[in-house]
A and B are shown apart, each in its own frame.
Chain A
C-alpha cells in the first residue's frame, strides 16, 4: 500500500514513516501542502496521512484534491486540536479516519489494519467485477457486444465518481438497471437507491414528491412528508423521464443541484442533502431542448457523464446470452423443468427486431418457459410468441417515445 505522509513536524513525520513501513506500507513523506500536491502526482499514493495544519495550507484540502483526482484514495487526518469542526470537515471530504495528537502507535496500527483489510476486500470486488465482465455480466447487466463492453467500462468509471449521469435510450433498454448498477458499484452502495419516474406523477405533485412537504403546506397535507431527495440522502436518486418534469420544477432541480440543499414545500429551512443524481430519458435530449421540454442549463448540469444505451436490435450477438440468462432466472423462480434452448429457437430470437428491447425479450422468454413442455424451448413456441414483422431484421432508426412506466417507485435500500 503506497502511503503519502504530509506532516510538517520532522520528528513526527519520521516516526510515522517508520511506523507505517513496519506495518507493511510503502511510504513517501513531505512537510508542506505544495510538496504534497506534487507527490500525489509523482508517487500516486493509495492512502494519504495528512496533518490538518500545514505551513502553506490545509491538509484536508490536500486530501480533497487528491481524492478528486482518484476517488479510490483513502485519507487519514491527524490534528493536534481535536475540534469538532475540523472532524466534520474531514469526514465530509471523505477521509476514512481522524486521529487526534498525541498519536498512539496502537491506534495507528488498528486504523491501518482496518484500512488494509477494507482495501483488500475492495480489490477482491474489483477482480470479481473484471471476471464478471469477462463472462458478459456487470451486476444485472448482460452483454458481450462491443457496445455493451464500452458501457460496462463507462459504468465502472462513473461508479467511482459522484458526478451526475444522464442515461439515454429507448424504452426497455435497461436505463434503471444501469442506474442501479452504478449505485451498487459506488461507495454509496450501502445507502439508499431511490427511483422516481417523473412521467408517472401529475406535474403538480412532483415537487412535493421530490422535496417533501410540511404539514399544512397545501390542502390534504395533514402531516409532514419526507421527499425523495431526503430519502436518498447519502445514496443515489434516479430520476426517470426527466423531460416530463415541468419547466418551473426544472429550475428548482437545478438550484438543488447547485446548492446541494432542498426546501420542503411550505417549509422555511434549507436542508443539506448529499445525493448522487442519475437521470434518464427515452427522448433525444437535444430534441427535448429544442421542443422546450428540457432546460438547456439543466441538461448540461445533468449530462456530466452521458451513457447512451443501444437498442437490442443493434446488439443481436447479445440475444442468446440474454435469453439464456432470463431462462435460468425464470427456471430458478418457477422450476418449470425447462432446461435450455433448441438452436433454431435462439436463431428466431436473434433475427427478431425487438422494438420493446430487453424488456420485451424477457417477457417473451418468460412466456416461452411457461408454454414449453419440460426439456428445451423449441422454435414453434418462439414463432408463436413473436409478432410477425413486415421488414427483415436489421438496424432500426431511433423510435419515438413509446410505453412509459406508469408507476412511480420509491426505492428501497439496496
Chain B
C-alpha cells in the first residue's frame, strides 16, 4: 500500500479524518430518524426530523464521495 513510513502515517491520518467526517452526519441521521419514529408513534408530525435526517444523509454522501476521491488520489491510495 505505502512506500514509506511517512506515507503510511499520512495515509492513516487521512483515513481517520475520512471516518470522522462521514461518521458525524451519519450520527445525526440515525438520531433524527429515531426522533422521527418517536414523534410518529406519538401521533406528532415527524417531517422536520425527517428533513434533517435527509439533509444529513446527503451531507454524508457528499463527504463520502469527496473522501474517496482524496484517498484514492493520496499516497496511500496508490
Residue numbers of A with Cβ under 8 A of B are: 9, 11-12, 14-16, 18-19, 22, 53, 78-81, 83, 100-105, 108
20 inter-chain pairs at a CB distance below 8 angstroms, sorted by A residue, are: A9-B25, A9-B28, A11-B32, A11-B55, A14-B28, A15-B35, A16-B31, A18-B31, A22-B35, A22-B38, A53-B20, A79-B20, A80-B19, A80-B20, A80-B23, A80-B24, A83-B16, A101-B24, A102-B26, A103-B27
Indicate if the CB atoms of A12 and B19 lie closer than 8 Å.
no
Rounded to whole angstroms, the CA-CA distance of A78 and B30 in the bound complex is: 15
Partner of A18, one of B20, B29, B35: B35
Residues of A within 8 A of B59 (CB): 11
Residues in A neighbouring B45, C-beta threshold 8 A: none
Q: Is the CB of A11 within 8 A of B16?
A: no
Determine if B27 and A101 form an interchain contact, defined as CB atoms under 8 angstroms apart: yes
Q: Is the CB of A14 within 8 A of B52?
A: yes
Count B-side interface residues using an 8 Å CB cutoff. 23
In contact, B20 and A81 (Cβ under 8 angstroms): yes
A15 engages B16 (CB within 8 Å): no
Q: Which A residues lie within 8 Å of B24 (CB)?
A: 9, 12, 80, 101-102
Closest to B17 in A: A81
A14–B48 alpha-carbon span in the complex (Å): 12
CB-defined contacts of A11 to chain B, threshold 8 Å = 25, 28, 32, 52, 55-56, 59
Which residues does chain B contribute within 8 Å of A14, judged by CB atoms? Answer: 28, 32, 52
Segment 7-44 of B: residues with Cβ below 8 Å from A: 16-17, 19-21, 23-32, 34-35, 38
Q: Is the Cβ of A15 less than 8 Å from the Cβ of B19?
A: no
- Among B20, B23, B26, B55, chain A packs the most CB atoms within 10 A around the CB of B23
Q: A105 and B34: CB pair below 8 A? A: yes
B interface secondary structure, majority: helix
Please indicate which of the listed interface residues B17, B21, B27 has the most CB atoms of chain A within 10 Å of its own CB. B27
B25 / chain A contacts, CB cutoff of 8 Å: 9, 11-12
Residues on the A chain within 8 Å of B28, using CB: 9, 11-12, 14-15
B interface residues with partner A (beta carbon < 8 Å): 16-17, 19-21, 23-32, 34-35, 38, 49, 52, 55-56, 59
Chain A interface mostly helix, strand, loop or mixed? mixed
- Using CB atoms, name the residue of chain A closest to B60: A102
Cβ contacts under 8 Å, B30 to chain A: 15, 102-105
Q: Determine the residue in chain A with the shortest Cβ distance to B26.
A: A102
Contact B26 A15 (CB under 8 A): no
| Given contact pairs A14-B52, A103-B27, A105-B31, a sample of 14 additional A-B residue pairs in the complex whose CB atoms are under 8 Å apart | A9-B24, A11-B25, A11-B55, A12-B25, A12-B31, A14-B28, A15-B28, A19-B35, A22-B38, A80-B19, A80-B21, A102-B26, A102-B27, A103-B31
With both beta carbons as reference points, the residue of chain B lying nearest to A103 in the complex is identified as: B27
**Docked complex Cα distance between A108 and B16 (Å):** 23
Chain A nearest CB, measured from B5 CB (Å): 18
Question: Closest approach, in angstroms, between the C-beta of B24 and any C-beta of chain A?
Answer: 5
* Contact A15–B20 (Cβ < 8 Å): no
Q: In the assembly, what is the distance between CA of A62 and CA of B35, in Å?
A: 28
Residues of chain B lying within 8 A (CB to CB) of residue A16 = 31
Which B-chain residue is minimally distant from A108 (CB atoms)?
Answer: B31
The distance in angstroms between the C-alpha atoms of A104 and B32, with both chains bound, is: 11
In the complex, chain A residues whose CB is within 8 Å of the CB of B19: 80-81
Chain B nearest CB from A58 CB (Å) reads 15
